[in-house]
A and B are shown apart, each in its own frame.
Chain A
Amino acid sequence: MGKRSVIPFGPQHPVLPEPIHLDLVIEDERVIEAIPSVGFVHRGLESLVDKRDFNQMTYVAERTCGICSFQHGMGYCEAVEHIFDVDIPIRAKFLRTIWAELGRMHSHLLWLGLLADAFGYENLFYQAWRIREKVLDMIEMTTGARLIFSVNKVGGVIKDITADQLRIIDGTVTEVEAELRDLEQVFLEDSTVKSRLVGIGILTKEQAHDLGCCGPVARASGISCDMRRLGYAAYSMLDLEPVVATEGDCFARCKCRLYEVYQSVDLIRQAITKMPKEQELAVPVKGNPNGEYFMRLEQPRGEAYYYVKGSGKPFIDRLRIRTPTFANLPGLCEMLKNTELSDVGLLVVTIDPCISCTER
């Protein structure tokens, strides 16, 4: 038995995209235990319910995260719409679905680049982010912004996507798919990549369930669960099967996210085909929310919660946002046990951590 010591890891570390601190209990070069610590970027967004009315809170919810901002806004709006018991126009549902999937594509491509960077493959990192630019361009073309879309409102959406823009989106996602097929060869076949990912940080199906993991982290461990199957937005009108792997290691998490980009391409094509041509973009919502609802949706990083409670006043009583990284932190601690110290950075990246939205 080697000598035990504790190494502080983060919040500032070259491989960490966001600030999280880990106290790593190590024996020689092997991690025995990891105790996480957050709280470096807590913003108290949920407390703004006292200062912003329920419509303005849509934009506050969006600012929970820069990467999945659209889905935060959509989750909040869907929760409030459930309380009002309003059904938004079908075209608005499809528009939300298209933007949500574009958001998922750019998030997963961003993550694939970060993963490549974490295992030291700079060229692959640049290639993944180069492809991501095309997705961001589509988002900018349709919303006017690249990250914070601000197109959701309670009752629907505020912008439409024209027929010409839909044709451009259809063509561009086809290009993205083809270019990612080339990169797929490297991510899934290259021996140097495999040597860093295969068999590292294994999380079994039972562990993933018991630790409350969600999203690609859970699906890579064999849990076939994808909140899009709840049927929110237009997902009830689309064909969708969760992307699942069984190995539970870093490689499986990479594979799941990569295949989910293709799945997003397929969902966008389905949505473009099935979307009604001309329709209102929103329905009027009168009064103030009176009631409560737990909304769940599938963000790029996994299942997110939006709990909204109102009592008939313009200012809601409570907004609670539970982000996927919050749920995946216990899983990360389990993955880190019995791994080499040199793999810690890589393992943190494989849960696709978003600490800013975890702390809100």
Chain B
Amino acid sequence: MTNLGLKNEIREIPVENLLNEVLVLKKQGMRLSQACAAYINEKFELSYSFSDDAAYELINLRVVIDPQTQVPSITELIPQAVFYENEMKEIFGVKIEMISLDYENKLYRIKQTAPLGPKQETEVKA
């Protein structure tokens, strides 16, 4: 019989603490298993999901910011976050600083700029 992973927590943190919190979870041996953005009520909600592969626990770090706020990239701590962060940047227009491999909004090769981000920033790429 199996029924693990009852912990499925969303932990809201200020953007200034993002790197520290990511480092703490990384040192605990947790795996970055997902990161995504949502644009709701004129705010970006960024979620960074960390999994414990032994206990099947899930901790989701949540950062809520204004669209103009700069977010530090976590790729220096977790290189594999590069695709997640490029997706946030290209699809939502999240301003992420210092992504280790920045695809410059060409990850998905779409014509619109930030189609799911703030409407005023939606424009067709040249």
A66-95 CB contact bits vs B (8 Å, 1 = yes)? 000000000000000000000000000000
Asked if A212 contacts B32 (CB within 8 A), the reply is yes
Chain B proximity mask over A215-252: 1 for CB below 8 Å, otherwise 0: 00010000111011111000111111000000000000
Known: A44-B110, A359-B108. A240 touches B2 (CB 8 A): yes
The 5 closest A-B pairs by CB, nearest first: A231-B3, A39-B109, A330-B80, A236-B3, A318-B38
A-B contact count (CB 8 A): 107
5 pairs of residues in contact across A and B, judged by CB atoms under 8 Å: A47-B116, A230-B3, A231-B2, A305-B49, A318-B38
Is residue B40 within 8 Å, beta carbon to beta carbon, of the partner chain?
yes
Q: Which of A53-61, A108-116, A177-185, A321-329 contacts B (4 or more CB under 8 A)?
A: A321-329
A225 to chain B: which residues have CB within 8 Å? Answer: 53-54, 56
How many whole Å from B7's CB to the nearest CB in chain A? Answer: 11
- Whether A337 sits at the interface, judged by CB under 8 Å, is no
Query: A38-B108, A294-B60, A359-B108 provided; 6 other pairs, C-beta below 8 A?
Result: A39-B107, A209-B31, A230-B2, A239-B2, A296-B33, A326-B83
Q: Is the CB of B82 within 8 A of A229?
A: no
Within 8 A of B (CB), among A39-56: 39-40, 42, 44, 46-47
Q: Interface range on chain A: under 10, 10 to 19, 20 to 34, or 35 or more?
A: 35 or more
The answer to the question of A320 belonging to the interface, with a C-beta cut-off of 8 Å to chain B, is yes
Contact A329-B83, Cβ < 8 Å, known A39-B107, A305-B49, A318-B38: yes
Kindly supply a per-residue 1/0 record for chain B positions 101-126, scoring 1 wherever the CB is within 8 Å of any chain A CB and 0 otherwise: 10100111110000110000000000
Q: Which residue of B lies closest to A42 (CB)?
A: B108
The reply to whether A230 and B56 contact each other, CB–CB distance below 8 Å, is: yes
Q: Does A262 contact B (CB under 8 A)?
A: no
Given contacts A39-B107, A292-B10, contact A223 B53 (CB under 8 A): yes
B47: interface (CB < 8 Å) = yes
Is the CB–CB distance between A230 and B38 below 8 Å? Answer: no
* Residues of chain A lying within 8 A (CB to CB) of residue B110: 39, 42, 44
User: Please, which residues of chain A bring their CB within 8 A of the CB of B80?
Assistant: 210-212, 330
Query: Are B40 and A317 in contact, with the CB atoms below 8 A?
Result: yes
- Least CB distance from B96 to A in Å reads 17
- Inside 8 A of A223's CB, which chain B residues have their CB? 53
